[in-house]
Chains A and B, each alone.
Chain A
Amino acid sequence: MELIQKEEHSNTPIARASAKCWQSTWGMLGPYFERTTGQPLHAGLKVRLQVYPQFHEAYGFSWIITDIDPTFTLGDMARRRQEIIRQLKEEGVFDLQKELTLPLFSLNIAVISSQSAAGYGDFVNQLSDSPYDFHTQLFPAIMQGEQVEESIVNALNAIYNVCADQQTLAFDCVVIIRGGGATADLSGFDALKLAENVAQFPIPIITGIGHDRDESILDMVSHTRVKTPTAAAQLLISHMDSTSQRIDTCGERINTFFSLLKTREEARIEKIASYLSPLVFHLLEREQHKLEMLEQRAKALDPALLLKRGYSITLHNGHLLRNAAEVEPGTELETRLEQGTIISIVK
């Protein structure tokens, strides 16, 4: 391997040396390093090595490695993570995803995963076994090794382009999943460019990249972080469950509200209806009473009653005669009695 020291904040090498490790030594150091740091030794890592110099006539000068200090690398990784986090916060993008809301109906899902991953199959199966009509579209990406960053960023761009083509947010959320396979090498998820792309993505991103250790930076900047692809599917299903629950509750509330309203309005109509007929009968009775009174008064005035009591009525030319001075001798008068009429001449 080649050991390089670079200038601070740039990629310019300022020192360079060749180093070697015997197979038998690396057989112990390699797994120890990988176990402690969570990743195999690869280009770009900062390491602290115990070495001794050796000069070989044919191969030249090199450092021979006898021991490695993984905690140094771990410390450097943590420092770099902190640096990325600080930079994201400084750019004001760290919490951008948290401000997005997962749509009530998150049914159209863009999935970033490796196509062959067992986790991807589980995720898709779990969604299709649910009662909801989920649609998933895979945007394949390499989820392990050094190409992770580039590959996920490309997949995000592809998703963005689909949305731009349709001029709408074609997906309700993006799910980045990785499941099964070898021990987690998560260093690829602790990358600045990837974090910036995820943080500023306009659609909520859910991560399920399967690991138990500390959150990766990708997890931190995403909208929601779950541990596994299965948990991601479960999250989407529960989200739909709660949406459906909300709809059901509203339906029940409408039902209850309307039965109350119906009862109230029925009572209102019934009350008016029950007034009506007694009111009409009362009015009719009152009129009838009035009529009876009039009838009695009319009866009392009936001249037949007077005739019966012995009075008589005298008429002249069909008109009532009230004054004797009104007639002259020789005039013919008609007198009505209770029974019969007398015609007489005035003397």
Chain B
Amino acid sequence: MTYEESLKQLEDIVRQMEAGNYSIDQLAEKLTQAQQLITQCKEKLYKTDSEIKKILEKR
């Protein structure tokens, strides 16, 4: 999944939650999924950051 896709999915979960579209049974599961997406997005962002730094240092 690309960074944009992950972020879009995350935003979608929050939107659905705000609209009250999840049952209490789904809530915990959706929250876990959201946290995983947050971690994924952050990891991708930091990985890109360090990759770019490495590439630029190679000069």
User: Per-position contact with B for A255-271: 1 when CB-CB < 8 Å, else 0?
Assistant: 10010001001101100
Give chain B residues whose Cβ lies under 8 Å from the Cβ of A273: 38
Question: Is A254 in the interface zone, CB < 8 Å from B?
Answer: yes
Pair B27/A284 contact, Cβ less than 8 Å: yes
User: Closest CB of chain B to A83's CB: distance in Å?
Assistant: 53
User: Per-position contact with A for B34-57: 1 when CB-CB < 8 Å, else 0?
Assistant: 110010011001001100100010
Question: Is A52 in the interface zone, CB < 8 Å from B?
Answer: no
Give chain B residues whose Cβ lies under 8 Å from the Cβ of A251: 56, 59
CA distance A75 to B14 in the complex (A): 90
Q: Say yes or no: A279-B45 contact (C-beta < 8 A), given A254-B52, A272-B11, A272-B38.
A: no
Secondary structure of the B side of the interface?
A: helix
Pair A279/B49 contact, Cβ less than 8 Å: no
Q: Which residue of the partner chain, among B3, B14, B24, B27, contacts A275 with CB atoms under 8 Å?
A: B14
Pair A276/B34 contact, Cβ less than 8 Å: yes
User: Per-position contact with B for A271-300: 1 when CB-CB < 8 Å, else 0?
Assistant: 011011001100110010000000000000
CA distance A251 to B34 in the complex (A): 35
Question: Is A247 in the interface zone, CB < 8 Å from B?
Answer: yes
Pair A272/B17 contact, Cβ less than 8 Å: no
Within 8 A of B (CB), among A39-65: none
CA distance A272 to B18 in the complex (A): 12
Q: Say yes or no: A269-B49 contact (C-beta < 8 A), given A255-B56, A276-B31, A280-B31.
A: no
Q: What residue of chain B has the Cβ atom nearest to residue A290's Cβ?
A: B24
A-B pairs with CB below 8 Å: how many?
A: 54
Pair A280/B27 contact, Cβ less than 8 Å: yes
Pair B14/A269 contact, Cβ less than 8 Å: no
Give chain A residues whose Cβ lies under 8 Å from the Cβ of B20: 283
Q: Which residue of the partner chain, among A258, A268, A272, A287, contacts B24 with CB atoms under 8 Å?
A: A287
User: Closest CB of chain B to A260's CB: distance in Å?
Assistant: 12
CA distance A273 to B34 in the complex (A): 8
Q: Which residue of the partner chain, among A255, A272, A284, A287, contacts B14 with CB atoms under 8 Å?
A: A272
CA distance A273 to B7 in the complex (A): 11
CA distance A342 to B54 in the complex (A): 89
User: Closest CB of chain B to A123's CB: distance in Å?
Assistant: 28
Give chain A residues whose Cβ lies under 8 Å from the Cβ of B31: 276, 280
User: Closest CB of chain B to A84's CB: distance in Å?
Assistant: 48
Pair B52/A258 contact, Cβ less than 8 Å: yes
Q: Say yes or no: A255-B52 contact (C-beta < 8 A), given A279-B17, A283-B20.
A: yes
User: Per-position contact with A for B9-32: 1 when CB-CB < 8 Å, else 0?
Assistant: 011001001101010100100010
CA distance A248 to B11 in the complex (A): 38
CA distance A251 to B41 in the complex (A): 25
Name 11 A/B residue pairs within 8 A (Cβ), A-sorted: A248-B59, A251-B56, A254-B56, A262-B45, A269-B10, A272-B10, A272-B38, A273-B38, A275-B18, A276-B31, A284-B24
Known: A269-B7, A279-B18. 13 other contacts (CB 8 A): A247-B59, A255-B56, A258-B48, A258-B52, A269-B42, A272-B10, A272-B34, A272-B38, A276-B34, A279-B17, A280-B17, A283-B17, A287-B24
The 9 A-B residue pairs with the shortest CB-CB distance, nearest first, are A273-B38, A269-B41, A251-B56, A279-B17, A258-B52, A265-B45, A275-B14, A287-B24, A280-B31
| B-to-A contact residues, CB < 8 Å | 3, 7, 10-11, 14, 17-18, 20, 22, 24, 27, 31, 34-35, 38, 41-42, 45, 48-49, 52, 56, 59
